[in-house]
Amino acid sequence: MMFLAEEIEAYSVLHTEEESELLKSLNRETHANVLSPRMLSGHLQGRLLSMISRMIRPERILEIGTYTGYSALCLCEGLAPQGKLITLDINEELENFTRRFFDKSSFVNHIDYRIGNAIDIIPTLDDSFDLVFIDADKINYKAYYDLCLEKVRRGGFLIADNVLWSGKIIIQENTKIDKDTQALLDFNRAVHEDKRVSNILLPVRDGLMILQKL
């Protein structure tokens, strides 16, 4: 679902900083060779993630849901000189594809790419994070949030993608709610009511919930 008129979306992209050549290549190859390319953050959202990261200048970033690495590379653009991004994904079939693009980037030595179940990995991380980006299975969004919040420094940020879920979060009368939609409804309500954070929901692409730990 497009939340903006197509012409407005196109105008926004036209007046947004271009992707790097590496990101353009990753975008093209993901759409040509990988299932569900809509999962890729893409130009406009990628530039927003980069801008947020550059504003924060994080030392440590945690990403849950790597997919083909586009958002990780965008987030790395704001890393402090000795910074590190840990990115977690459960899909081992995409590992070679994704690592190929990480290896081509100037951030290869700053990326810690791990394959496995994030719910198992997050408790083992000793880092304190300045920024967390959640873009994985929707059923576990609240679990990821709960695990990550205690590891985010005070004043740090969490961003959750797909919180508008193609508009499915607007429930019409007599509509059957699927499990993913219900999980996102529960997540959005829970974080909005959480007094430990300040939040804003941006209707960018499929919706970004941005939270700052108080």
Q: How far is residue 22 from each of residues 19, 70, 101, measured CA to CA in Å? A: 8, 9, 8
- Burial class from Cβ neighbours inside 10 Å (0-12, 13-18, 19+) for residue 185 reads middle
Entry pTM: 0.95
* CA dihedral over 67, 32, 49, 163, signed as positive or negative: negative
For residue 4, the model assigns a pLDDT of: 78
Distance CA 172, CA 149 (A): 32
**Domain assignments of the chain as residue spans, ordered by start:** 6-213
| Three-state DSSP state, 156 | strand
Residue 3, pLDDT score: 73
Q: What is the amino acid identity at position 103?
A: D
Q: What is the pLDDT of residue 183?
A: 97
Domain 6-213 indexed as CATH 3.40.50.150: yes
Query: What DSSP letter does each residue of 44-56 carry, written as one string?
Result: HHHHHHHHHHHHH
What pLDDT, on a 0 to 100 scale, did the predictor assign at position 2? 65
How far from 179 is each of 56, 105, 135, 145, CA to CA, in Å?
34, 37, 17, 18
Q: What is the mean pLDDT of each run of 10 residues along the chain (214 residues)?
A: 81 96 97 89 95 98 98 98 98 97 98 98 96 97 98 98 94 84 97 98 94 98
Q: Provide the residue type at 192 as one letter.
A: H
Contact 83, 51 (CB under 8 A): no
